[in-house]
Amino acid sequence: MSFDTTAHNRLMNHFDNHESVWLFGYGSLIWKADFDYLERRPASIRGWTRRFWQGSHDHRGTLEAPGRVVTLVRDPDAVCHGMAYRIAPSVFEPLDVREKNGYLRVVTDMTFDDGSRAEGVVYLARKDNAAWLGPAPEAEIARQIAVSHGPSGPNRDYLLNLAAALRELEFDDPHVFSLERELLAMEAIY
Ligand code: SIN
């Protein structure tokens, strides 16, 4: 899978002819909703867990020095909490560009806070994409985040904004909160 997934995502036709589509956001899409949406609701998806295992060459790092951002990896027992947005299908156009560094639109079931459910879309970066970095010790991930910058700003802001948004929504995420602790501890030393 090449670095730029825009063209691939344009071929996704599962929701053609729908007036609106639910989009599940679990990373920057939780705290940076700079796109038009009709409605938003906290939601979760089952069987996936959030990990800082995806490289960012276009937003929070560069080709030479990629940052780290989140993707979802399979975990049958996990529930990933995030924010769902009901959007017009035309909004996928700018979103495909924003999420072009390895993320693919995938159909998912999501559950809202009141227990009701909907089918929608999540942007997933799989292991076979060119920007995949994979697992590493948390101290190493935090160090990489601490030093990375890209066109959208410092990588640390991505992590801290995500942690703050999850805290505000009262969602626990041990991986994110532990990286936040590591990062802040590192920054306190230097
Ligand atoms: C998402 O937020 O749902 C996808 C990953 C990202 O853009 O940070």
99 a catalytic residue: yes
Residues 156, 184: contact at Cβ < 8 Å? no
Where do we find the tokens 């995949």?
132
Q: Which residues contact 33 (CB under 8 A, 6 or more apart)?
A: 25, 40, 83, 85
In a domain, 1, yes or no: no
In a domain, 168, yes or no: yes
pLDDT tens-digit map of 91-140: 999 999 999 999 999 999 999 999 999 999 999 999 999 999 999 999 99
Mutational test site, ligand 1, from 23, 49, 99, max ligand atoms within 8 Å of CB: 99
pLDDT of residue 21: 97
Mutational test site, ligand 1, from 123, 129, 132, max ligand atoms within 8 Å of CB: 123
User: Could you give the CA distance from residue 162 to residue 182 in angstroms, rounded to a whole number?
Assistant: 15
The range of the structural domain enclosing residue 124 comes to 6-189
Residue whose CA is closest, atom 1 of ligand 1?
27
In a domain, 81, yes or no: yes
Continuous segment of H or E residues that includes residue 187: helix 174-189
pLDDT above 70 for 38:
yes
Q: Give the Å distances, CA to CA, from 33 to 29, 36, 117, 142.
A: 6, 8, 22, 25
**Which of these, 75, 123, 81, lies nearest to 98 by C-alpha position?**
123
What is the CA(41)–ligand 1 centre distance, in A? Answer: 16
pLDDT tens-digit map of 149-186: 999 999 999 999 999 999 999 999 999 999 999 999 99
CATH of the domain at 10: 3.10.490.10
Count the domains in the chain. Answer: 1
Q: Give the Å distances, CA to CA, from 174 to 20, 159, 160, 171.
A: 33, 13, 14, 10
Average pLDDT, the chain: 95
pLDDT above 70 for 1:
no
In a domain, 76, yes or no: yes
The active-site residue, picked from 64, 93, 99, 180, is 99
pLDDT tens-digit map of 52-102: 999 999 999 999 999 999 999 999 999 999 999 999 999 999 999 999 999
Residues flanking ligand 1, CB < 6 Å: 25-29, 69-70, 99, 123
